[in-house]
Amino acid sequence: MATPSAVESYLQDFHQRIVGATTAAFGVIPATIDGATYASSYHLLSSVIPESSEPLTVLDLACGDGHLLGLLAARKQAGLTLIGADMSQGELDAARVKLPSEIALLNERAQHLSLADDSTDFVLSHMAMMLMDDIDQVLAETRRILRPAGMLASVVGRTFLLGEVMQIYIPLLQAIAKDDAPPPLRFGDSRMHSTTAGWETLLAPYFTEVRCIDVNLEWHPRPAELWESLSQTYDVDRLSPQAQSTLRVRFLEALSDIQENDGTISTGWGLRFVSGRKA
């Protein structure tokens, strides 16, 4: 692979130390889109792949520990060829342990894939594209490997936390990060962190039938469970141990004001489903 950028080096280090963090965060929370509910955002993406006997090749781009590939492999669908690509060898090692041996796993960057032109029917990606360097090159490379009428479908971030938790957590994080002063890192292209129009503008030069739809993951964790999930996010990971401890104490104290009668917190994640087809 090419020499990684500062962001890519950090992501490789994080996912070597904390393998499966994305699956842990999103693998069991129901996802709602256009009034339909799926068991998780991974299940939403897997539903894009038709259940048929025709030959289909699917690439999971930035496949992580292989959770999405595992859902598709469990179908035992004749004619379905599955491939995973990720720049984190630690995640790929975890995926290799739990996935069938016939699934190819590639240690590659999304900007430069070894797959042939017009060789893939679907490219799926879960919670990764909004982090990637040079997104135009990623989209061009995705289009290159897709067959005519092939489809890109991706779940990406939209807003961090749903509900009142957002107004509590972000100011606390910003204040502590300011004092802790971790080196700045810019994840992804600013167009991917804007409105749906940003994604539509990004995809339009490469794909037709572009769609961009809000996805909500409603979650009702207890405070300790919520903190455990947040502690495995990039922003918290980059804080010093002392700053992490301070944030944990202040955050858990503040949550007492918004706990439900059963001790849980009403929150969740705001995501987007974006898709397009190769003309």
Question: Cβ(183)–Cβ(241) under 8 Å?
Answer: no
CATH number of residue 135's parent domain? 3.40.50.150
| Tens-digit pLDDT profile for residues 105-155 | 999 999 999 999 999 999 999 999 999 999 999 999 999 999 999 999 999
* Residue 253 is assigned to a structural domain of this protein: no
**Pick the residue with more confidence: 192 or 222?**
222
* Residue 250 is assigned to a structural domain of this protein: no
Q: Which residue range(s) make up the domain with 127?
A: 6-161+186-220+267-277
| Tens-digit pLDDT profile for residues 202-249 | 999 999 999 999 999 999 999 999 999 999 999 999 999 999 999 999
Q: What's the pTM? A: 0.95
* Residue 145 is assigned to a structural domain of this protein: yes
The mean predicted confidence, pLDDT, of the chain is: 95
| Tens-digit pLDDT profile for residues 70-104 | 999 999 999 999 999 999 999 999 999 999 999 99
* Residue 240 is assigned to a structural domain of this protein: no
* Residue 76 is assigned to a structural domain of this protein: yes
Number of compact structural domains in the chain: 1
| Tens-digit pLDDT profile for residues 15-31 | 999 999 999 999 999 99
The per-residue pLDDT for 153 is 98
* Residue 232 is assigned to a structural domain of this protein: no
* Residue 74 is assigned to a structural domain of this protein: yes
* Residue 174 is assigned to a structural domain of this protein: no
